[in-house]
Amino acid sequence: MTRRKWLLGITLLALAGAAFYTRGQWMPDKSNAQAPAPGAGGRVVAVETGKAETKKMPVRLDALGSVTPIASVALKPRVDTTITAVHFQDGANVTKGEKLFTLDCRVMDAQIQTTEGTLARDQAQLAGAERDVGRYTELVGKNATPVTNLDNAKTQTDIYKAAIKSSQGVLDNLKVQRSYCDVTAPISGRISAASMKAGNFVRQADIMPMATIIQMAPVYVSFTVPQKNLADIRQAISAETGTVLATVQGQTKRAQGQVSMIENSVDSATGMAMVRATMPNTDELLWPGTLVNAEVTLRVEDSIVVPSNAVQVSQTGTFVFVVADGKAKVQPVKVDRTVGTETVIASGLNVGETVVTDGQLLLQNGTRVNPRQPGAGGGGPPKAAGS
């Protein structure tokens, strides 16, 4: 019994010694328990920062549009005759009133001369009838001739007056027809190639025009917008603040104009409305039929803005890292729109707050930060001179 107690005591002492020497593996380390968790201030991350500022920012719409002419005229013959001369070069700029085609008008000239002769005969006959009226009036006053002769003379005068009006009408009509033989430009613009040259016979029933003129300055830029934006666009038109910048794909130069009209109906199938902007186009940058990117500025208003690279996106929404007391803090924000390299913040940020614009990948909530100048490089310590 004594021997068994002695062996038990030795075993307990051995176990106690083993536990003492291995205590570091199963007991918590007080120094480690007091160490800061990763990202809670244990390291300092160099970041670039910017300020939330109040600026006047435009409210814009982006749309895909096309260039459409304000005026386009298809030149067609108004008489059946032959083209005798073409007075323009294909694709040239023409001005209003410039002669473009000359048509054969010899038949009409002959008809005009014939009608002028008929008119002169009627006028001579009228003069003779009026003299007869004067003579019969004197004779009737002296009871030297019956009143019937005077009445007949007056009737003849009325007949010749009616004949003169008829001949004058025919003559005026022929002169109008004669004017159609000189085809002039009804508007200024750029003309197409002549579809018919000198020597071709043209008719009023021809479907193909002899040429087409398209007004080049000004022109329309037409684009569609959702119906929910119509109220803002109407206000912009009333206030004359609706400006449009049109960019042709592949070019850097942009044309500027003004929103001038909204079509009088909305497409019920798509819920889109057609809007047209008038562009001066004095340099002919915009060519009819060209597709353009239209940037519509509706108005300018005061807004809170930050650099666009400060805004981050997560599964829960957009946020920024705000720097306060040397630490980065995650702050959710609501983005209204982006204009160039700046983002307009609708809510979640106050003017003057400092936000991180570069270095967000190394940050989490509570990380200590060391702001640096933009473009200064990484966050490591500066190298010694000559190293």
- pLDDT confidence of residue 340: 85
- pLDDT confidence of residue 3: 63
Residue 377 has pLDDT above 60, yes or no: no
Q: Are residues 357 and 343 located together in one domain of the fold? A: yes
Beta strands in 268-326 (DSSP E): 272-279, 291-307, 312-314, 317-324
* pLDDT over 70, % of the chain: 86
> Domain for residue 4, yes or no?
no
> Domain for residue 30, yes or no?
no
Q: Tally the domains of the chain.
A: 4
> Domain for residue 15, yes or no?
no
**Residues 26-50: pLDDT tens digits?**
454 444 433 444 444 468 999 999 9
Contacts of 150 (CB under 8 A, 6+ apart): 133, 136, 137, 139, 140
Beta strands in 146-288 (DSSP E): 182-184, 189-191, 201-202, 211-214, 219-226, 243-248, 254-267, 272-279
Last residue of one domain, picked from the residues 128, 159, 180:
180
CATH code of 91's domain: 2.40.50.100
Q: Are residues 337 and 247 located together in one domain of the fold? A: no
Bridge partner list, 181:
none
Give the span between the Cα atoms of 378 and 372, in whole angstroms. Answer: 9
- pLDDT confidence of residue 8: 65
Q: Are residues 232 and 326 located together in one domain of the fold? A: no
pLDDT band (50, 70, 90) for residue 374: low
CATH code of 124's domain: 1.10.287
Which of 5 and 272 is assigned the larger pLDDT?
A: 272
Residue 82 has pLDDT above 80, yes or no: yes
- pLDDT confidence of residue 5: 64
Q: Are residues 82 and 185 located together in one domain of the fold? A: yes
- SS3 state at 319: strand
Dihedral, CA of residue 361, residue 362, residue 366 and residue 367, to nearest 10: -150
Give the span between the Cα atoms of 278 and 237, in whole angstroms. Answer: 12
Bridge partner list, 334:
347
> Domain for residue 158, yes or no?
yes
Question: Any idea which residue has 């016979």 for tokens?
Answer: 201
Give the span between the Cα atoms of 50 and 359, in whole angstroms. Answer: 12
> Domain for residue 29, yes or no?
no
Residue 376 has pLDDT above 70, yes or no: no
Q: Are residues 185 and 82 located together in one domain of the fold? A: yes
Q: What is the span of the domain harbouring residue 351?
A: 44-57+303-372
Please state whether beta strands 272-279 and 291-307 pair in parallel, antiparallel, or not at all (unpaired): unpaired
**Residues 152-181: pLDDT tens digits?**
999 999 999 999 999 999 999 999 999 999
pLDDT band (50, 70, 90) for residue 387: very low
Last residue of one domain, picked from the residues 194, 214, 234:
214
Q: Are residues 81 and 199 located together in one domain of the fold? A: yes
**Residues 254-285: pLDDT tens digits?**
999 999 999 999 999 999 999 999 999 999 99
CATH code of 311's domain: 2.40.420.20
Q: Are residues 242 and 273 located together in one domain of the fold? A: yes
Which of 23 and 139 is assigned the larger pLDDT?
A: 139
Residue 373 has pLDDT above 90, yes or no: no
Last residue of one domain, picked from the residues 246, 275, 300:
300
> Domain for residue 205, yes or no?
yes
> Domain for residue 1, yes or no?
no
CATH code of 259's domain: 2.40.30.170
pLDDT band (50, 70, 90) for residue 386: very low
Tokens (6 digits) for 269: 């199938």
Q: Are residues 148 and 198 located together in one domain of the fold? A: no
Q: Are residues 255 and 279 located together in one domain of the fold? A: yes
pLDDT band (50, 70, 90) for residue 19: low
**How many angstroms separate the Cα of 95 from the Cα of each of 59, 88, 198, 215, 329?**
40, 11, 21, 10, 67
Q: Are residues 294 and 365 located together in one domain of the fold? A: no
End-to-end CA distance of the chain: give it in Å, rounded: 79
**Residues 354-369: pLDDT tens digits?**
999 999 888 888 999 9
> Domain for residue 384, yes or no?
no
**Residues 100-141: pLDDT tens digits?**
999 999 999 999 999 999 999 999 999 999 999 999 999 988
Q: Are residues 185 and 87 located together in one domain of the fold? A: yes
Which of 300 and 13 is assigned the larger pLDDT?
A: 300
- pLDDT confidence of residue 84: 97
Q: Are residues 224 and 293 located together in one domain of the fold? A: yes
Computed over every residue of the chain, the mean pLDDT equals 88
